[in-house]
Amino acid sequence: MNKEIFPTEPSEDGFFYQSEEEKNSGILTKIYDNGSEVKHLELKDGRKASVRKLKGRDFVETKKRMQNDPAGDFETINMSVATTIEGKQQPPEFYLDDLFQDDYAKLMIAFSSLNF
């Protein structure tokens, strides 16, 4: 039996599986020529999510959001800056209140592998 090698070869549109864990979770990665990276995945209800690699300016946005919500969770706020669901940004509360744990964890896997 041949063991699959990761990262996998990119598809025609440039997406590939970074690791076995990400393949098992259905998380696809694309690296652009400018070094930017994005991960695409599907939530349990079929909605499409996109998570991007953050830039320095995003830290300023996260800091602003933390000032507005001092009790907010840094990772969730940061993830909300990096993530779109069906092409739309969602507030941090969406990830904590509206998503089930398995979808939240899947997004956090994608976010963490790009940004930490």
Cα gap 47→103, rounded to integer Å: 11
Amino acid 23: pLDDT? 97
* pLDDT at residue 1, rounded to an integer: 65
Domains of the chain by start residue, with CATH: 20-115 (3.30.2220)
d(CA 38, CA 36): 7
- Torsion of Cα atoms, 93 then 83 then 104 then 63, to 10°: -50
Full-model pTM: 0.92
pLDDT band at 2 (very low <50, low <70, confident <90, very high): confident
